Amino acid sequence: MHEKKTPHTLCIDIGGTGLKIMVLDEKGHPLTERLRIPTPADPTPAKVIAALEQLKKKAPAFDRVSAGFPGVVKRGVLYTAANLSPKWVGFNLQAELEKRWKKPVRVANDAAVQGYAAIRGEGVEMILTLGTGLGSAIYTDGNLCPGLELGHHPWMKGNTYEDYLGKRGLKKHGPKKWNKLLAKAIEQTAHTFNWDYLYIGGGNAKLIRIPLGENVLVVPNEDGLLGGVALWKHNA
C-alpha cells in the first residue's frame, strides 16, 4: 500500500522591511531554514512579487501556498497597505500567485497568520504585532474576524496606535516611553475587546521591558510563517 502524500506548504511573510519564506510539513514543522531578503525600496506589487519569485527558486517543491500580508485582506483581495504601496489596494494577491505558481493559495493578514500559530482556540483571543507598523487580529473560539486594523484606529491626541507603537513611534519616543505606551495600549485593548488571551509578536517584541499579565504572552516572530499551515484549517 502506498503511503498517502501529505501537503507541503510554502509559507510567505510579507513585511514592510523584509520578505520571508519557509516550507512546512502538514504538522507545521519546518522543512527548510527561513529565507529572508529585504523588501524592495519601492514595494509595488510588481517588485514584491518579482522578489518572491527569486526566493521561491531557493525553496524545495511544495503543494500549496500561505501568505501573510500587512493590511486588510478579504478573500485574497488587499484593501489596505499602509506600509507598502497604494498600488496594492484592490489587488488580488491570491489569484495572482495561483496563476503564476499553479498551486492553491490562501492569503490573510500577516498578524492573523501569526496568531493562528499561537492561539488556543478558546474564547476571545487577540494578537498585536510590533514591527514596521502595528498588526492586529482577533479570534473567537479559534475563528478569525477578518478586517480588524487596530493600528490605524484613533487613539490619543489625534494619533493612531501605530503612530505610537510602530517603527516611527519607537524612533520618536525611545524604548522607555514606547514600553509605557505599549502598557497603555494593552490596558485599552483589554477594556475594548475583553480578550481572554493577548499574544504579542513582531520584530520589536524583543524590546518589551514591562511586566505582562498571566494572560499576555510574547510569541516568536517565526510564528508569522509557522501559522501558514493553520491557515488551511480555517476559512480566513
Answer yes or no: are the C-beta atoms of 42 and 85 closer than 8 Å: yes
Answer yes or no: are the C-beta atoms of 114 and 223 closer than 8 Å: yes
| pLDDT, tens digit (0-9, with 9 covering 90-100), for 34-69 | 999 999 999 999 999 999 999 999 999 999 999 999
Interatomic CA distance for residues 138 and 118, integer angstroms? 12
Answer yes or no: are the C-beta atoms of 201 and 221 closer than 8 Å: yes
Average pLDDT in the chain: 93
Interatomic CA distance for residues 38 and 40, integer angstroms? 6
Q: What is the pLDDT of residue 121?
A: 93
Q: What is the pLDDT of residue 152?
A: 92
Instruction: Give mean pLDDT, residues 24-28.
Output: 90
* C-beta contacts of 71-77 below 8 A and 24+ residues apart: 71/109, 71/149, 72/109, 72/146, 72/147, 72/149, 73/107, 73/108, 73/109, 73/112, 73/146, 73/236, 74/146, 74/147, 76/105, 76/106, 76/107
Res 9 pLDDT > 80 = yes
In the numeric block, the cell 502524500 is attached to: 5
Interatomic CA distance for residues 232 and 236, integer angstroms? 8
The three-state secondary structure class of 199 is strand
Q: What is the pLDDT of residue 146?
A: 85
Q: How far is CA 85 from the centre of its chain?
A: 17
DSSP symbol at 34: P
| pLDDT, tens digit (0-9, with 9 covering 90-100), for 133-177 | 999 999 999 999 988 899 999 999 999 999 999 999 999 999 999
Spell out the domains of the chain, with CATH numbers in brackets. 9-110 (3.30.420.40), 113-224 (3.30.420.40)
Answer yes or no: are the C-beta atoms of 182 and 174 closer than 8 Å: no
Interatomic CA distance for residues 170 and 176, integer angstroms? 9
> H helices of 57-213, where?
93-101, 110-118, 161-165, 167-193
Instruction: Give mean pLDDT, residues 110-129.
Output: 95
Confidence (pTM): 0.89
